[in-house]
Structure 1
């Protein structure tokens, strides 16, 4: 591989004709968006859409300035600097074909831990019309019991001591908007792109709570000069592997240190509430609506819940990848039954035919054998996911006096998951900020199943519901005495 090309601006003209090279004069692009959290998902989704808009519709005012705030983000920051912000998007189709596209919409990048004042200053500049975020569920620092912003979180406390070396996204935003206010500059839109319910309303409430505690004089200005649209994002994006990197080298002689792998499907729906203007995203297929809730609920309760359910149940059976579980008829029949019996009845205002079609589409996406989406990724931080994706369905079913069998089975399997051993005696890693607590309460549940419910605050009023308690104890006992696949066979036959 003596002619190996390192991915950067200078080398793009020498790339293989089979690679979709950027047809963009990057010198003409002006920054209009600051994005916090340069995750694989951001690079497969928001940055992809901006690239399409620049390339196909000559939108030059909304280039992206990427900003990373975590110590663990140093690697991606260094790579983006080396590669001039360029990276390869690898789209893996279900038929085995792959598309390779160089994305060129990230034109600046900052690393907060290295120079927090520089990142704050960049966020404060008036050319930034939108600050978007992918900081994952745990980046919002919500209290697991109340769902409110956690002012006692250690990182939040650190921010109050060292305002100009913040540890949270809220600390950076606060100081940036303080500068805008003092300089007489306009505010901007804060756009959450995370899988949390009412993500815009959630970050708005959390941010206002943080500001009221740390810089109360800023709050009236913020209320007049910022907007927080809710959004729904959707594209399955996997962890990049060494194999993905090597394949680019072997096939196209490209050395891209961190390509991004995703599925062909992509969707983005946003409430049209942008205080400082926005790109013409509708030109590249993004939908703007007045109320995101019906779209959001459908996605969270079917796709996101489905992912987590297959992740937990599949891990207990020794599977490693989503497509393995999704192509096992027993697991997928269980998921389809959960959706049909317990999820869909709560969508009164959505056409059931459309729901059926959406469910079928989601499951086909899960079955894509070329994505290789790991169950460990899906199960990571499940303590932040299950309460968002599964609990609302359980609570609605309880309120409506309808079946909770499938949802309760999932919660029992989730408890067994924290035993850390699959049905073949193999251990697996548990990656969760609450892992110590959950592993301990799962251990206690061997003697008293109720303790898993009582000692984990996110169960809230589910703990007091008699039928839920009864079915949880029953299913947990079955799962600990019978392999999960056998349980599913019996469940699917309504014999468990």
Structure 2
């Protein structure tokens, strides 16, 4: 049997026998995109699209400079530096694995904690036309209750004292744009690719708020030299497992220290609001639209909400993966009914992306057993996800006196979820920035059931809404005395 090969530039010619390799000369690529937060999702999504554009349309001016800013990102940095920025994308369809694809669009890499000034200089370089990022919800440093930028966050406070050793994305951007202004260089597009509603607007609000408080003289320049398009990004990307690394090595003879696993489906919709020149990404399927809202609402309220629902119900039952819960007829019937009765009335169909077609595709995506996405990943940080994915639907349904039964049941199930014990009697970890509060309030709800709804950062004043609380209390009482499977089945059969 032939020996496996480490993933490096010098081995690509030999690797191409077993995996697709970049069909372009990476030395010809110039970098115009700086991406902050080189996550698995970025590597499965944005970097994949750019790789396709370079490969199929010779867009050699769209190379990516990867940038990580957190000490916890050192492993990613070390791996990609060791592999010359190359990594393997493993696409898993329901019927099996597709041929692994080596992605070569990341041609530079910087690590902030190692050399912050090098990162600032790179961001200030006039070659950089787009600064994109995937920094997750906590990277925006928003106050949990008000939603405003949290100037008192420890990382923010630290870099105010030492601005040339920034800790946040805002600190790096501020110093980079100060240099651009000083040197007479124009600004660029700031492109959020995070899974939050109105991500561009949120980034703009947070960043300008930060600058107004810390570098107010920069604010007028920023307002005329930057744009913040909203985006919708969509591709299920589970955590890479050791068995994925082993399968790549044993079956395809490629030794990649950190490959990325994803589903075949992918979608990227961007608000048409670029500073100066708009890239020609439509050549590889990116949609540029005037109004992003129908697209992002459909994705957040269907895919992300669906994930959270399957995560809560499945974990309580004792399942470990999304596909197990999605292939359970009782749970998937509940989810389909929720989408039809409570989500559909709140959505406006987006062009070329109808609700019915997206919903149908979504169920099959959830059922893909080869993705093996863990429910523990799905349920992590639910306190940040549920207000965006589910309570936003509740707000509309309440305002229009429409059905809220499914949502009341889901929130009651989430309360029970925070007891930390499944119906088989096994404990599971609750991974959340406010886990102590969730666990304590769920425990108190055993005696005072409405107590869980008094978590203000999550529910605001929902505990004072009798229409919702009456249904919630009814379902929570039933869930406390029955298994999740029994309760969902009775709900589906309209016996609950």
Normalised by the size of structure 1, how large is the TM-score?
0.98
Write the distance in 2 (CA, Å) between the matches of 1:6 and 1:338.
Answer: 47
CA deviations 1:130-164 (Å, max 9, x no partner) are 00011111211122222222222222222222211
Q: Which moved more, 1:341-350 or 1:166-175?
A: 341-350
SS of 1:11's partner is helix
Query: 1:245 is matched with which residue?
Result: 245
CA deviations on 1:22-78 (whole Å, 9 max, x unpaired) are 111011000000000000000000000000000000001110000001111000000
Q: For 2:359 and 2:149, locate their aligned partners in 1 and report how far apart those are by CA, in whole Å.
A: 33
Q: Match for residue 76 of structure 2?
A: 76
* Contact in 2 for aligned 1:192/1:199 (Cα 8 Å): yes
State the Cα distance separating 1:349 from its structure 2 match: 5.6
Equivalences for residues 11-90 of structure 1 within 5 A: 11-90=11-90
Structure 1 gaps, min length 5: none
What is the alpha-carbon distance in structure 2 between the residues aligned to residue 112 and residue 57 of structure 1?
A: 32
Aligned to 1:445: 445
Find the counterpart in structure 2 of residue 356 from structure 1: 356
Q: Do the aligned residues in 2 keep the contact of 1:87 with 1:258 (CA within 8 Å)? A: yes
Question: d(CA) in 1 for partners of 2:164 and 2:315?
Answer: 43
For residue 183 of structure 1, report the CA deviation from its aligned partner.
1.2
The residue that corresponds to 1:234 in the other structure is 234
Alpha-carbon distance, 1:354 to partner: 2.8
In structure 2, stretches of 5+ residues that fail to align are none
By how many angstroms is 1:483 displaced?
A: 0.4
Tell me what 2:267 maps to. Answer: 267
**2:456 corresponds to 1:456:** yes
Report if the CA contact (8 A) 1:92-1:99 is conserved.
Answer: no
Question: Do the aligned residues in 1 keep the contact of 2:235 with 2:265 (CA within 8 Å)?
Answer: yes
After the TM superposition, which of the residue ranges 171-180 and 472-481 deviates more from structure 2? 472-481
Question: Which residue of structure 2 aligns with residue 218 of structure 1?
Answer: 218
In 2, Cα distance between equivalents of 1:170 and 1:41: 21
Q: TM-score, normalised by structure 2?
A: 0.98
Q: Does the alignment pair 1:155 with 2:155?
A: yes
Q: Provide the rounded CA distance (Å) in 1 between the counterparts of 2:105 and 2:441.
A: 46
CA distance in 1, matches of 2:101, 2:317: 36
CA distance in 2, matches of 1:116, 1:147: 28
User: 2:346 corresponds to which residue?
Assistant: 346
- Structure 1 counterpart SS, 2:337: helix
Paired with 1:198 and 1:476, the residues of 2 have a C-alpha distance of: 33
Per-residue deviation, residues 174-227 of structure 1 (Å, max 9, x unmatched): 111111111111100000001111110110001000111111111000001000
Where has structure 1 moved over 2 Å in runs of 4 or more? 1-4, 276-279, 347-354, 455-458
How far 1:357 moved relative to its partner? 2.0
Tell me by how many angstroms 1:106 deviates: 0.1
User: How much is the aligned-residue C-alpha RMSD, in angstroms?
Assistant: 1.5
Number of aligned pairs? Answer: 496
Q: Distance in 1 between matches of 2:466 and 2:54?
A: 56
Distance in 1 between the 2:406 and 2:338 partners?
5
For the Cα contact (< 8 Å) 2:145–2:457, is it kept in 1?
yes
Please identify, of 10-19 and 387-396, the stretch whose mean Cα deviation from structure 2 is larger: 10-19
Q: Distance in 1 between matches of 2:472 and 2:352?
A: 29
Name the structure 1 match of 2:481.
481
Q: Summarize the Cα distance change of 1:318–1:168 in structure 2 as closer, same or farther, 3 Å threshold.
A: same
- Distance, in Å, in 2 between the alignment partners of 1:116 and 1:189 is 21
Within the alignment, does 1:183 sit opposite 2:176 as a pair?
no
**2:420 aligned residue:** 420
Aligned match of 2:304: 304
Give the drift of 1:120: 1.2
Distance in 2 of aligned mates of 1:148 and 1:469:
28
User: Is the CA contact (8 Å cut-off) linking 2:349 and 2:355 kept in structure 1?
Assistant: no
C-alpha distance in 2 between matches for 1:47 and 1:16: 20
* Contact residue 6 and residue 254 of structure 2 kept, 8 A: yes
Q: Spell out, residue by residue over 1:403-458, the C-alpha distance to the aligned partner (whole angstroms, 9 max, x if none).
A: 11101111111111111111111111121111112112111111112221113322
